[in-house]
């Protein structure tokens, strides 16, 4: 799955954001990842291991 994920990818996580959106854009992908909610533009910092566990599918 790591090959599919890169900066700029759109992913769907298992749990949605409180704003109601569950699609996220990968802003930075490394040991520490930054993802941006496509509904409210909030940026969340998460470990790569935790992110890989939470991804339901990769859209782009």
* pLDDT for the residue 3: 57
How many CB atoms neighbour CB 11 within 10 A? 20
As given in the structure block, the two tokens for residue 27 are 């802003």
- Residue 17 inside a domain? The answer is yes
- Residue 5 inside a domain? The answer is no
- Residue 45 inside a domain? The answer is yes
pLDDT tens-place string over residues 1-48: 555 889 999 999 999 889 989 999 999 999 999 999 999 999 999 999
* pLDDT for the residue 11: 95
Query: Is residue 51's pLDDT more than 60?
Result: yes
Among 14, 60, 54, smallest CA distance to 33 is for 54
Confidence bin at 60 (pLDDT 50/70/90): confident
- Residue 19 inside a domain? The answer is yes
- Residue 1 inside a domain? The answer is no
Domain of 38, in residue numbers: 10-58
- Residue 25 inside a domain? The answer is yes
- Residue 36 inside a domain? The answer is yes
Total of domains in the chain: 1
* pLDDT for the residue 1: 53
- Residue 2 inside a domain? The answer is no
């Amino acid at each position: 799955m790591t090959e599919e994920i890169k900066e700029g990818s759109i992913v769907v996580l298992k749990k949605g954001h409180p704003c109601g959106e569950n699609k996220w854009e990968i802003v930075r992908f490394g040991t520490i990842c930054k993802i941006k909610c496509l509904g409210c533009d909030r940026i969340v910092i998460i470990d790569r291991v935790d992110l890989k566990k939470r991804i339901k599918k990769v859209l782009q």
